[in-house]
Amino acid sequence: MESFKMLHFLVIWIVLDLDLTNSAPDECPLERERLQAQLKSLEVRAVKQQEMIQRLTNLSMQKQNPVNESIFFDLGERQYTDCAQVFSNGNKASGFYLIKPMSSPAQIRVYCDMTEGGGWTVLQRRTDGSQSFDRDWKDYKVGFGDLKSASGEFWIGNDNLHYLTSQGEYILRINLEDFEGSHRFAVYGKFKVDGEENHYQLQIGRYTGNAGDALSGNYNPGAQSWASHHGMKFSTRDKDNDHYDRNCAREDKAGWWFNKCHTANLNGIYYKGPYSAVTDNGIVWYPWHGWWYSLKSVEMKIRPAGFELSED
Ligand SMILES: [Ca+2]
């Protein structure tokens, strides 16, 4: 606001100056006109300056407290093995928490989704294409992405997935949204990810939901042998563990439990709806929108089996 004040002083000084220098009326009508025009111009500049200051102030406040920023909850010394435990202990707000799965060597920062019954540890999120998911083995191993914003895109890390799911029986819930505003979901029981020594092999159980069973390929019995992701090892562009004679991860631009290659590619390229490409490398959930439609948002999250029963 200092510059606005300075301009204001300048305007007053010119007004005073106008009175003094024009003590002999009508002697210098041209000079009076010139000064009046100058005064008007300064007033306009002062208003513009004030508007600019207001805009900068708003921008600065937005940066300090972005709408998108989610809250980090510091729960102190007590250790929690997952978000279900955080929720059960009375923490009902969605946001970031520190947890330490039993076999994890260190605490990890995770997003706990306390909606849809609460207690969900989010393992993956796609919302706007701001993060690249075409990454190598090491990135997928430790995790990557935006773990600060409430709607940030990230992968929790395969080691963390293994630590979490080796603690007991977990269910996986996948929420999907398209660009027409429709929502679908898929839930799988007995979700488990093996350790790195077994290439983070995936196990999934029974499917329920309305998105179609893309992960086991059960939507079409003929597709199961090449499409099922159950029992598949994780592949990245630099580590090919798929059942394809070429490299699915490299062709489909994602790390995933590829078979030959997929009917779900939730770590694919963020295309915004219908797309054409050499391979089906978008964010695909085949039974819902086919291979040539890339979804708007994806959320993958896990919770211990029986959690809802224990809450009732
Ligand atoms: Ca291969």
**CA–CA separation, 46 vs 57, rounded Å?**
16
Structure tokens at 3: 């510059």
Q: Going by C-beta distance under 8 Å and a sequence separation of 6 or more, which residues neighbour residue 141?
A: 157, 158, 159, 196
HEC string for 214-226: CCCCCCCHHHHHH
When pLDDT is cut at 50, 70 and 90, the band that residue 63 belongs to is: low
Structure tokens at 139: 């990135």
Position 214 in a domain: yes
How far apart are the CA of 1 and the centre of ligand 1, in A? Answer: 63
Structure tokens at 117: 């019954």
Position 45 in a domain: no
How far apart are the CA of 236 and the centre of ligand 1, in A? Answer: 10
Position 4 in a domain: no
Position 49 in a domain: no
**CA–CA separation, 97 vs 112, rounded Å?**
7
Position 27 in a domain: no
Position 40 in a domain: no
pLDDT tens for residues 251-280? Answer: 999 999 999 999 999 999 999 999 999 999
How far apart are the CA of 216 and the centre of ligand 1, in A? Answer: 19
How far apart are the CA of 297 and the centre of ligand 1, in A? Answer: 28
CATH (domain of 267)? 3.90.215.10
pLDDT tens for residues 11-30? Answer: 455 444 544 444 455 667 88
pLDDT score of 201: 98
pLDDT tens for residues 127-164? Answer: 999 999 999 999 999 999 999 998 999 999 999 999 99
How far apart are the CA of 160 and the centre of ligand 1, in A? Answer: 25
pLDDT score of 16: 47
pLDDT tens for residues 192-224? Answer: 999 999 999 999 999 999 999 999 988 887 888
pLDDT tens for residues 92-126? Answer: 999 999 999 999 999 999 999 999 999 999 999 99
pLDDT score of 272: 92
**By residue range, what is the domain housing residue 289?**
72-304
Sign of CA dihedral 276, 278, 282, 287: positive
How far apart are the CA of 80 and the centre of ligand 1, in A? Answer: 39
pLDDT of 189 > 80? The answer is: yes
More confident residue, 50 or 8: 50
How far apart are the CA of 246 and the centre of ligand 1, in A? Answer: 4
Tokens 């301009």 belong to residue: 7
Position 251 in a domain: yes
How far apart are the CA of 244 and the centre of ligand 1, in A? Answer: 4
Residues 204, 206, 212, CA angle at the centre, nearest 5°?
95
Position 43 in a domain: no
Question: Between the CA of residue 145 and those of 102, 195, 211, what are the distances in Å?
Answer: 24, 21, 26
pLDDT of 65 > 50? The answer is: no
How far apart are the CA of 252 and the centre of ligand 1, in A? Answer: 12
Number of domains in the chain: 1
Structure tokens at 72: 């980090």
**CA–CA separation, 145 vs 168, rounded Å?**
27
